[in-house]
């Protein structure tokens, strides 16, 4: 698969974890009155909210012409979850720091 064929999916996975996952997580903790969640709690809740978008990740038909992009989406999804869980996602770590500093 050429890079230009997966460009839009790459951009989506660059944004979705912190725009959907971390944003919804910050609001959830704020509404619950939890000012100092652990980093692990914030990461897990971020993954939980990001997983709500999985129907979109699985929305392409299971047809031959979509097989490579579907494989790429599955790879990126797993990679993003791994990075969030391990603390390697810089954008998520920035959101955690911001929440812990400003609640």
Mean pLDDT score, 89-102: 96
Integer angstrom CA distances of residue 75 from 10, 70, 80, 82: 11, 9, 9, 11
pLDDT exceeds cutoff 70 at 1: no
Q: Is residue 21 within 8 Å of residue 50, measured between CB atoms?
A: yes
Close Cβ partners of 43 (under 8 Å, ≥ 6 residues apart):
84, 85, 87, 92, 96
Q: Check residue 5 and give its pLDDT.
A: 82
Would you kindly state where each structural domain of the chain is located, as residue ranges?
Answer: 3-102
| Prediction pTM value | 0.91
- Please say whether the beta carbons of 46 and 22 come within 8 A: yes
pLDDT tens by residue, 64-95: 999 999 999 999 999 999 999 999 999 999 99
Helix (H) or strand (E) holding 85: helix 67-86
Could you report the per-residue pLDDT of 22-60, keeping only the tens digit for each?
A: 999 999 999 999 999 999 999 999 999 999 999 999 999
């Amino acid at each position: 698969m050429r890079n230009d064929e997966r460009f839009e999916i790459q951009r989506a996975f660059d944004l979705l974890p912190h725009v959907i996952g971390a944003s919804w997580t910050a609001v959830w903790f704020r509404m619950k009155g939890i000012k100092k969640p652990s980093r692990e709690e914030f990461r897990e809740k971020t993954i939980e909210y990001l997983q709500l978008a999985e129907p979109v990740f699985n929305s392409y038909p299971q047809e031959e012409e979509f097989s490579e992009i579907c494989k790429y989406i599955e790879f990126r999804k797993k990679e993003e979850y791994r990075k969030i869980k391990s603390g390697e996602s810089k954008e998520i770590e920035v959101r955690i720091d911001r929440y812990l500093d400003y609640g």
